[in-house]
Amino acid sequence: MDTTQRIVSALVIGGCGSLGHRVVERLLKLEPPPQVSVFDLNTTQNRLPSVEYYDVDISDRYQVYSALSKVRPQVIFHTASPPPGLLDLPLYMKELGTKAFVYTSSASVVHDSVSDLIEGDDSLPLVYLPVQQEIYSHSKAVADQLVLDSNSTTEGGMLTTSIRPSGIFGENDATAKGFVDTAAAGKLKFQIGNGNNLFDWTYNENLVDAHILAAQALLKSHIEPPSADMRVAGEGFLISNDEHMPFWEFARAIGDAAGHPTRKEDVRVIPKIVGLAMATIAEWVVWITSFGRKKSRMNRIGIRYSCMTRTYRIDKAKRRLGYKPRVSLREAIQRAGKSFSNELKKTK
């Protein structure tokens, strides 16, 4: 971290969520700690002392502006995912004196969510519908571009950047829980595809580091404008643990760490085409039997992701942000898996 560039006050949008509250925790550990505020739909969970919490619907223009007028943060970390068309950054931020805006995007914004992507980097363009196959990734790309377009290099303007993580996971989060539940049910012995497809993951504590580094770089840019090849403002940065791992190996490692091991000799391989056919049938059955109110847990999107290769290069983040994963992928897997093992012990 850049200890010379102090964050005086910070707002974390989505600060009660899985990633957001970890950003809050890290901010409070800075010396000296900044004044931290949180906007979220429901601020009853993951609360921390000395933090100001505001129940705010970020899709409501009046609520956002009213709360921002009270907080007036120096830095904003946006870790929630609102409808992209509602990000009116010039109105909400610049006139309130905000100096830096760090947006949590996704590595999927430069990928079509279907084909293999090998060693993708930050030179790749954002991908939109209809080439983009997922509406979530499309909306993230739209919001990502809005954030970068709102970057202002005029004196006193707000500098912006987008952080694009690949496969976020951590203790007690939804991604890790999904793999743990699948392992506990014995379903990880069924593998779709040959299992050789590499995938990139990002431990949430490392991702928090990237957010703090980005904010500090933006604040420093107000004082010492960097050279073009070191610019952070108006730029997007792919983030990962910088360690490729086969998708199914990662899934089983999470389950193993949680106390639900899957023996290699028990693994049965299902061809991708068969898996897609099974998912299609499951989607239709659940849709029909629930009268369209529910979605199948087994779906084509999940099958495609479990079979694709998707790896990235994060050279730009390393060089311009000074980002380096502090927690290795193996250590992160152990921490994430054991968090569910510990929770199970508490209930017994």
Mean pLDDT value across the chain: 93
Q: Residue 226 carries which side chain, given as an amino acid letter? A: P
Q: What is the pLDDT of residue 13?
A: 95
Q: What is the pLDDT of residue 346?
A: 55
Regarding beta strands 198-199 and 245-246, do their DSSP bridges make them parallel or antiparallel, or are they unpaired? antiparallel
Write out pLDDT tens, residues 185-237. Answer: 999 999 999 999 999 999 999 999 999 999 999 999 999 999 999 999 999 99
Write out pLDDT tens, residues 164-183. Answer: 999 999 999 999 999 999 99
Give 345's pLDDT tier (boundaries 50, 70, 90): low
Write out pLDDT tens, residues 71-106. Answer: 999 999 999 875 544 456 665 555 678 999 999 999
Active site residue 140: yes
Q: What is the pLDDT of residue 87?
A: 52
Can you give the three-state secondary structure of 231-264, one letter per residue?
CCCCEEEEECCCCCEEHHHHHHHHHHHCCCCCCH
Among the four given CATH numbers 3.30.70.1140, 3.30.70.100, 3.40.1010.10, 3.40.50.720, the one describing domain 9-173+201-242+311-327: 3.40.50.720
What residues contact residue 202 under an 8 Å CB cut-off, 6+ apart? 165, 166, 167, 168, 169, 239, 240, 241
Let me know: does 165 contact 317? Beta carbons within 8 Å. no
Q: Delimit the domains of the chain by residue range.
A: 9-173+201-242+311-327
As given in the structure block, the two tokens for residue 164 are 């694009």
As given in the structure block, the two tokens for residue 72 are 């007036």
How many other CB atoms are there within 10 angstroms of residue 229's CB atom? 8
Let me know: does 232 contact 161? Beta carbons within 8 Å. yes
pTM: 0.93
As given in the structure block, the two tokens for residue 68 are 């921002």
Q: Would the pLDDT of 303 be above 50?
A: yes
Work out the burial of residue 62: count CB atoms within 10 Å of its CB; fewer than 13 is exposed, 13-18 middle, 19 or more buried: exposed
Write out pLDDT tens, residues 123-135. Answer: 999 999 999 999 9
Measure the CA–CA gap between 262 and 190, rounded to whole angstroms.
10
Average pLDDT over residues 282-296: 93
Percentage of the chain surpassing pLDDT 70?
93
Looking at the DSSP assignment, which residues form a beta bridge with residue 35? 9
Taking the CA of residue 173 as centre, how many other CA atoms within 13 Å lie in the half-sphere pointing to its CB?
23
Helix, strand, coil % in the chain, rounded to nearest 5: 45, 15, 40
Let me know: does 25 contact 51? Beta carbons within 8 Å. no
Q: Which long-range contacts (CB under 8 A, 24 or more apart) does 276-281 make?
A: 276/300, 276/303, 276/304, 279/303
Q: Would the pLDDT of 113 be above 90?
A: yes
Q: What is the pLDDT of residue 84?
A: 46
Query: Buried b vs exposed e over 192-205: b needs ≥16 C-beta within 10 Å?
Result: bbebebbbbbbbbb
Average pLDDT over residues 331-336: 98
Q: What is the pLDDT of residue 153?
A: 86
Give the 3-state secondary structure of residue 322.
Answer: coil
Give 141's pLDDT tier (boundaries 50, 70, 90): very high
Q: What is the pLDDT of residue 92?
A: 53
- 70, 140, 272, 346: which is the annotated catalytic residue? 140
Q: What is the pLDDT of residue 73?
A: 94
